[in-house]
Amino acid sequence: MDYVDFSYKPKKTDLVCLFKYKTKKSRKEAAKNIALESSTGTWTDVKTKNTRAERIKARVFKIKGDYSWIAYPYDLFEASNIPQIFSSIAGNILGMKVVESIRLEDVKFSSKIVKRYQGPRYGIEGVRKKLGVGKRPILGTIVKPKLGLSSKEHAKVVYEALLGGCDIVKDDENLTNQSFNKFSNRLTLSLEAVEKAEEETGEKKAYLPNISAETELMLERMDEVKSMGGKYVMVDIITVGWAALQTVRKHSSLIIHAHRAMHAAMTRNENHGISMLVLAKAARLIGVDQIHIGTVFGKLEGKRSEVVRIKEGITGKTDGRNEMKMSWGKIKPVFPVSSGGVHPVLVPKLMKMLGKDIVIQAGGGIHGHPDGTVSGARAMRQAINAAMEGKDLRDYAKSHEELRKAIRKWSSVKW
């Protein structure tokens, strides 16, 4: 079979992948091997091939520099099965000797595939409505230290952050049900803290418990959150897996916050693995309501162009350029979450780069404030207000003590 056909024009129902790869062989030969291994072929001629295999094979339709575009017919996939799709387009091919390195840079899901998914239940508009937040960014924090606090100590941090001006407070990615901080007890006390903060501030607030675990246990924890009046659950989507995430979305009536812990094992190498854009698109299809995308300015890896591109991919009605342009149909946009080394001084930069439809998630940048968590949350909220009003941060700080102290502490931090 010839898997390279530069005259081929992808059908509307095809799934299209953009690969970046390095090889010591000819680029055409390597691209052919990528296409055959990820669709109907193998390393040698076999007697079992048939006309159907010829019809549904993948086709390399463009090669330019280090990049190849490959179209996959709809019938290659169980369209509602994200694990099967990834096993095809990012399975064996990442370990093939014919390429020195290979990275799945982008994916275009056809409208026929998109229609098989629910997408976010709430998305940006629904989350704003649930929290009663209009046009400004959502302000969130993570309970710190990551591990070591008791349930009671944890809930106290939740309360102080919400009292100071945060809209949401979430668990960190590695806190679930440890002996010193049991899930059920933490949930009860933290939701009580939410209720207390709502009464005292007159604002809607939320706590995001990390339900990540074996799938059935996640569903049990999700039901527990719902029964107690919680609005959110948080899931470590990479470590629990795509199948588990699909199950959670199927059964969830709550807002799903997607943490991307372990993504860098696949995304950090610019020449090998899978881009965060691809992972974020899959998460949007399945139906998370908000997902971490990076900050550019903070402690975590992520170039400006990449972070902006991810944001566009999970928020736009259409996505991609040229061969990768796709339509999301009725799939709602996902709230981008910017986190990792964020503090008040960075807020204007973040908002200028990513706009107002973002969740600004600051951990140390709130709890590390000289006057503690309440003041740290106030400083972050003040920084957002200044940016919303188009005012210089230092000028605004002259009449806001919490922000002034935050600037004094973090203005010299260089990432």
* Residues annotated as catalytic (active site), given as ranges: 144, 259
Beta sheet of 273-274, edge-to-edge order: 59-64, 67-72, 15-22, 101-108, 273-274
Q: What is the crossing angle of helices 401-410 and 373-388, to 10°?
A: 100
CB atoms within 10 A of CB 364: 18
Other C-beta atoms closer than 10 Å to the C-beta of 130 total 16
Supply 302's token pair: 């992520």
Cα(260)–Cα(273) distance, integer angstroms: 15
User: Could you tell me which of 61, 69, 57, 59 has the C-alpha nearest to residue 6?
Assistant: 61
Q: Which of 246, 196, 252 is nearest to 219 (CA)?
A: 252
**What sign does the dihedral 36-38-42-48 (CA atoms) show?**
negative
Distances (CA, A) of 139 to 12, 133, 237, 342, 414: 40, 10, 22, 11, 22
**Beta-bridge partner residues of 63:** 68
Q: Which amino acid is at 141?
A: T
Question: Beta-carbon neighbour count of residue 53 at 10 Å?
Answer: 14
CA angle, 233 then 206 then 347, to 5°: 105
Partners of residue 275 on adjacent β-strands: none
* Contacts by residues 244-247 (CB-CB < 8 Å, ≥ 24 positions apart): 244/215, 244/218, 245/82, 245/283, 245/286, 245/288, 246/82, 246/286, 247/215, 247/218, 247/219
Bond before 145 cis per omega within 30 degrees = yes
